[in-house]
Amino acid sequence: MAITMTQAAEQHITRHLAHRGHGIGIRLGVKTTGCSGLSYVLEFVDDQQPEDTVFDCGDAKLFVDPKSLAYLDGTELDFVKEGLNEGFQFNNPNVKEECGCGESFHI
Partner 1 sequence: MVLLQISEPGQSPEPHQRRRAVGIDLGTTNSLVATVRSGTPETLPDNEDRHLLPSVVHYEADQNISIGYEALEWAGRDALNTLISVKRFMGRGTTDIKTLGDQLPYQFVSGESGMPSFRTSAGDISPVAASAEILRALVERAESALDGPLDGAVITVPAYFDEAQRQATKDAATLAGVKVLRLLSEPTAAAVAYGLDQGGEGVIAVYDLGGGTFDISLLRLSRGVFEVLATGGDSALGGDDFDRAIAQWCCEQAGLGSDLDPQQQRQLMSAARQAKEALAEQESVAMDVLGWQGSLDRHTLNTLVDPLIDKTLRACRRSLRDAELDSDEIDAVVMVGGSTRMLRVRERVEETFKREPLVNIDPDRVVAIGAALQADVLVGNKPGDEMLLLDVIPLSLGLETMGGLMEKIIHRNTTIPVAKAQDFTTFKDGQTAMAIHVLQGERELVSDCRSLARFELRGIPPMVAGAAKIRVKFQVDADGLLNVSAKELTSGVEAHVEVKPSYGLNDKEVTRMLRESYTHARDDMQLRALREQQVEADRLYEDLSAALAQDGKVLLNEKEYHCLEVALDDLRNVRESSNHREIARHIETVSKTSEDFAARRMDASIKKALAGHSLDEIDKGL
Give the interface with partner 1 as residue ranges (CB under 8 A).
Answer: 12-13, 15-16, 19-21, 26-27, 31, 33-35, 39-46, 80, 82-90, 99, 101-104
Q: Whose Cβ is closer to partner 1: residue 4's or residue 12's? A: 12
Cα–Cα dist 73/36, whole Å: 19
3-state secondary structure of 39: strand
Q: What amino acid is encoded at 90 in this protein?
A: F
Number of alpha carbons in the 13 Å side-chain half-sphere of residue 67: 8
In sequence order, what are the residues at sequence separation of 6 or more whose Cβ sits closer than 8 angstroms to the Cβ of residue 66?
51, 53
Q: From the CB of residue 101, how many other CB atoms can be counted at a distance below 10 Å?
A: 8
Least Å distance, CB 57 to partner 1, is: 15
Least Å distance, CB 104 to partner 1, is: 4
Q: Which helix (H) or strand (E) holds 20?
A: helix 7-20
Least Å distance, CB 40 to partner 1, is: 6
Least Å distance, CB 26 to partner 1, is: 6
Q: Whose Cβ is closer to partner 1: residue 12's or residue 73's? A: 12
Q: Whose Cβ is closer to partner 1: residue 43's or residue 97's? A: 43
